[in-house]
Amino acid sequence: MLEYFHNFFQALAAPLDDPGSRLFHLNMLASLVLVIVFVTLSKKSPVRGGRKRVASLLFRARYWWNRSTRADYQIYVLNSLLKVLLLIPFLDFGYRFSQWTVKGLLAFHGDFLGLSPTFAGLLAMTIFSFVWDDLLRFVHHLAMHKISWLWPYHAVHHSARILTPMTLYRTHPVEAAMATVRNSLSLGVSTGLFLFLFEGRFTLITFLGVNLFGHIFNFLGSNLRHSHIPLSFGIFERIFISPLQHQIHHSREAQDHDQNFGVSLSLWDGVLGTLRLSNSLGARRLSFGLPGPFESRVSRLISAPFINTFSKVSQVSSNCCLWLSRAVAAVTTKVKHGHLNLMQPLAAKKILGAKR
C-alpha cells in the first residue's frame, strides 16, 4: 500500500522534474521568457487591454483558479492515480512492440544490418523518431475528433474555457489510456528499428535525455498552446503548429472547428486540407470551450462519455435484435404458408444417399 502511495505522489510530481514534460521547470521558464519577449516586441496589443492585460492575466490568481482550471487539476490527479494502478502496469507495451518490429524486419531481411552508429545515422534516427511520434499523435488526435463514439471522450479536453499549461492534462482516462498505448507503439517501433539497423543499445541525439527535436518544440512555446497568448510562427506555420494555431483548434466558434490537428508539425494538416493559418483570424478574438452550457463537474465530465457509449451500444444491440426478430418472423411465415420447406435439403440428402 505504501508503495502505491509513493508511486502516486511520484506520478503527480513527475512532470515538474521530467525534461520530456511540458511542465518541466526549464520549459515553463522558457515559456515565460517567450511571453515577455512577445509582449515587449508586439507592435499591436496581443490581447484586448494591452500589455498590462497580459500581465494581469498571467499573474492573477483567478486565471489559475476558476471553475475551468479546477476541473483541470482534479482530472490530472485522477489520471495520476489511474496511471499508477492501471495504465503503466497493463498498457505499457513498448517492449512488445519493439520485439514485434525486430521480428518483422528480420522476417523480411533475414539478419540485422549491423550498421555503424555514426552521427549522421543517429541524426536520421532522431528525426525519424520525432516525425514518427508526431504522426501517431496526429492520427490519434484526428481519430478522437472524427470517430463519433470517441469524440465525447476528447470533448472533455475541449470543454475547458480557460486555457493554461495544465489544460494539456485535462484528458478523459480512456483517452489517457489510448495515449499510453500510442506512446508504447511510438517508442517500441523506433527502438526495434534502431536495434535492427545498428544492433546495439537504443540511442538518439538528446538533450537532458529527451529527443533533441522534441525538446526544441517544448522550448519554443509548447506551453503557450494552451494559453491566451496568441503567439504566431508566421510563414513557418506551414511546417510547425504555432500556439495560436492550436488555440484556433480550441475555438468555440463552428467556423474554427476540425482544423489544425497537428501537435508539432503542421505538414499532416497540409496533406489532409485541415491546415488553418493564424493570419486568417484578422482582429477577431477567440473564445474557448464547447458550445452550450459550461460543465465543470468532474463526475459529469468523466461519466457522460461512458453513458454515451452505453447508449450507442444499446442502440446497436436493439437494432440487431430487431433485425433478427424480423428475419425469424419472415422465415416462420413462409414455413407456415408452405412457401418454405425446411426438410427439403435433408430429404434430398437421404435420396441421394440411397441412390449411392
Domain shared by 331 and 184, yes or no? no
- Kindly indicate the confidence band of residue 325, based on its pLDDT and cuts at 50, 70 and 90: confident
Domain shared by 339 and 193, yes or no? no
For 129-166, the pLDDT digits (tens) are 999 999 999 999 999 999 999 999 999 999 999 999 99
Alpha helices in the chain (DSSP H): 2-17, 25-41, 50-58, 61-64, 67-82, 88-91, 94-109, 119-146, 151-158, 173-198, 212-219, 243-249, 267-272, 298-336, 344-355
Domain shared by 342 and 219, yes or no? no
For 49, left (φ over 0), alpha (ψ -120 to 50), or beta?
A: left
Domain shared by 264 and 334, yes or no? no
**Residue 341, domain extent:** 321-355
pLDDT on residue 288: 95
Domain shared by 36 and 133, yes or no? yes
Q: Specify if 288 maps to a domain.
A: yes
Q: How many domains does the chain have?
A: 2
What are the cell numbers at 319?
437494432
CA geometry: angle at 179 spanning 96 and 272, to 5°? 110
Beta bridge partners of 207: 210
Q: Which one is predicted more confidently, 213 or 193?
A: 193
Q: Specify if 75 maps to a domain.
A: yes
Domain shared by 283 and 351, yes or no? no
Q: Running DSSP on this structure, what letter comes out for residue 256? A: G
Q: Specify if 344 maps to a domain.
A: yes
Q: Which one is predicted more confidently, 53 or 313?
A: 313
For 110-129, the pLDDT digits (tens) are 888 878 878 888 888 889 99
Residue 137 backbone phi and psi in degrees, to 5: -65, -40
Domain shared by 194 and 343, yes or no? no
CA separation for the pair 153, 145 (Å, rounded): 9
End-of-domain residue from the set 281, 296, 311: 296
Q: Find where cell 521547470 sits.
A: 25
For 94-110, the pLDDT digits (tens) are 888 988 999 999 998 88
For 195-235, the pLDDT digits (tens) are 888 876 667 776 556 677 777 887 777 889 999 888 899 99
- Identity (one letter) of the amino acid at 20? G
